[in-house]
């Protein structure tokens, strides 16, 4: 698997794409260094850099949405946005959502059992994270379907390098609708706070005055977008790996306490997010490679996760792997804020599925990967008990 990554790691750990003035970096040590270093910056959003979206009036809503996302900002703005959201996104919030996550997973799995030809992505992995985050944000039950559609159109924006104009138009419409929707939700909670993350963020805001209303709205939307497709992929990729490695699935049956370590191995072996990017803020020597100020750097999380310098037998799927230092949630200041939630969702999902599906095999067409570069996930996965 991943022969291209193996070749990159062996022969071209820093590969220069001249026509794009861009580096592709694959060594674990270097990827980690770049993600942690303030010399590599974010505040040149890819949307602005891409000629296809240089038409701000046409994609105004996308531009306004993503320019506030902590994901694309550097300190001090990044620190301000992130610390505010982190106030609401605490271990306590997570603990409180545990029973809801379990009941959502159990209901979805039970419905899937009734299907003659269940399809894990559509019937289970896709709805689970969107229902969980909608629940945490306090979105009413009846709005869940439209939420799924928005999330779908917006997640593609993260893969912006490869978007068509039609997809950008669709994303722009979704951005406009979801921002209006959240504006209304925020204003309602300003009058009548509820027990949800939005109310919690507003509560902190009233004391700290850190965010504008638009920043608050846009970063709530980021929680949905950043946490949806990524978690779908983690669950879907895990199920595929379990079918391909029945011995691991069997072992988990007897030792369910290994599920958390299996989740880490799925994250490493089939990283849901394959890369991220930064821009060199100054001339930097990385090993013996000189990266010039202004050059773009793509760091390959997927390749770094298979670097033999860090992982013994990297192409072996080993759910008992110790000290699994994968970079699937990145590292440094942008380390995934939703990592504990994603882990909890995946652990719960596999606990529930293991119980209801003691043995699995593929049924129907061979699973195919979605045609994307940023995200690694399946189009569909038909299973049989
Ligand atoms: C950031 C991966 C789930 C919210 C990131 C980054 C990665 C990542 C690689 C860093 C990107 C960069 O540095 O350029 C994942 C994966 C997930 C997952 C693999 C699931 C398996 C979630 C969930 C949420 C979430 C469930 C929230 C509900 C965020 C946010 C950021 C982020 C807000 C931006 C953090 C910052 O810029 O400081 N994620 N994520 N993610 N993630 Fe996740």
Q: What is the DSSP string of 217-244?
A: HHHHHHHHHHHHHHHHHHHHHHHHHHHH
Residue of the CA atom closest to atom 16 of ligand 1: 230
Reference 229, options 317, 133, 165; nearest CA is 133
In the chain, domain spans: 37-273+328-384
Neighbours of 308 (CB within 10 A): 13
pLDDT of residue 160: 55
pLDDT of residue 361: 84
User: Which atom of ligand 1 has the smallest separation from the CA of 136?
Assistant: 28
pLDDT of residue 54: 45
Reference 275, options 237, 296, 304, 247; nearest CA is 304
- What does the block give as tokens for 30? 């270097």
Reference 319, options 271, 270, 265; nearest CA is 265
CA distance to 138, 167, 202, 261, per residue, from 96 (Å): 13, 37, 19, 23
How far is Cα 130 from Cα 135, in angstroms, rounded to an integer? 8
- What does the block give as tokens for 201? 């963020």
pLDDT of residue 82: 94
Mean pLDDT (10-residue bins), the chain, 385 residues: 94 95 97 97 62 64 92 93 86 92 96 89 93 89 84 78 81 94 93 90 78 92 92 97 95 96 98 95 93 94 98 97 97 97 97 90 86 90 87
In the structure, which protein residues have their CB atom closer than 6 angstroms to any atom of ligand 1?
Answer: 70-71, 82, 133, 222-223, 226-227, 230-231, 234, 272-273, 276, 328-330, 334, 336-338, 341-342
Residue of the CA atom closest to atom 13 of ligand 1: 334
Q: How far is the CA of 336 from the centre of ligand 1 (A)?
A: 4
Q: Crossing angle, helix 127-137 and helix 197-208, to 10 degrees?
A: 40
384 with 360: CB under 8 angstroms?
yes
CATH 2.40.30.10, domain 37-273+328-384, yes or no: no
Ligand 1 site-directed mutation target among 235, 336, 377, most atoms within 8 Å of CB: 336
pLDDT of residue 45: 46
Q: How far is the CA of 223 from the centre of ligand 1 (A)?
A: 8
How far is Cα 87 from Cα 80, in angstroms, rounded to an integer? 11
Strands 383-384 and 296-300 come out as: unpaired
pLDDT of residue 47: 36
């Amino acid at each position: 698997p991943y022969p291209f990554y193996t070749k990159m790691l062996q022969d071209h750990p820093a590969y220069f794409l001249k026509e794009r003035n861009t580096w592709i970096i694959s060594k674990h040590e270097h990827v980690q260094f770049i993600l942690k270093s303030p010399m590599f910056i974010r505040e040149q959003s890819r949307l602005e850099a891409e000629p296809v979206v240089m038409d701000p009036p046409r994609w105004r809503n996308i531009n306004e949405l993503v320019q506030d996302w902590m994901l694309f900002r550097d300190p001090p703005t990044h620190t301000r946005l992130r610390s505010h959201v982190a106030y609401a996104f605490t271990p306590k919030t997570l603990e409180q959502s545990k029973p809801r996550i379990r009941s959502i997973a159990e209901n979805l799995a039970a419905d899937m059992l009734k299907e003659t030809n269940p399809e894990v992505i559509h019937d289970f992995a896709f709805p689970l994270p969107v229902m969980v985050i909608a629940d945490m944000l306090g979105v009413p039950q009846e709005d869940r379907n439209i939420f799924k559609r928005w999330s779908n159109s917006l997640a593609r924006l993260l893969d912006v390098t490869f978007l068509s104009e039609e997809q950008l138009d669709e994303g722009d419409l979704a951005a406009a609708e979801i921002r209006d929707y959240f504006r209304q939700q925020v204003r309602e909670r300003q009058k009548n706070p509820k027990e949800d993350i939005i109310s919690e963020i507003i509560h902190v805001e009233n004391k700290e005055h850190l965010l504008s209303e638009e920043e608050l709205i846009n970063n709530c939307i980021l929680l949905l977008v950043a946490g949806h497709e990524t978690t779908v992929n983690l669950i879907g990729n895990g199920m595929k790996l379990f079918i391909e490695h029945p011995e691991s699935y069997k072992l988990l049956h007897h030792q369910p306490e290994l599920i958390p370590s299996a989740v880490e191995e799925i994250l490493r072996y089939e990283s849901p997010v394959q890369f991220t990017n930064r821009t060199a803020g100054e001339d930097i020597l990385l090993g013996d490679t000189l990266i010039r100020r202004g050059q773009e750097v793509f760091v390959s999380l997927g390749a770094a996760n298979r670097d033999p310098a860090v992982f013994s037998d990297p192409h072996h799927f080993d759910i008992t792997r110790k000290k699994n230092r994968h970079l699937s949630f990145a590292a440094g200041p942008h380390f995934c804020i939703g990592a504990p939630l994603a882990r909890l969702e995946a652990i719960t999902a596999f606990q529930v599925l293991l119980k209801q599906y003691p043995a699995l095999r593929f049924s129907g067409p061979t699973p195919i990967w979605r045609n994307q570069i940023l995200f690694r996930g399946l189009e569909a996965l038909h299973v049989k008990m």
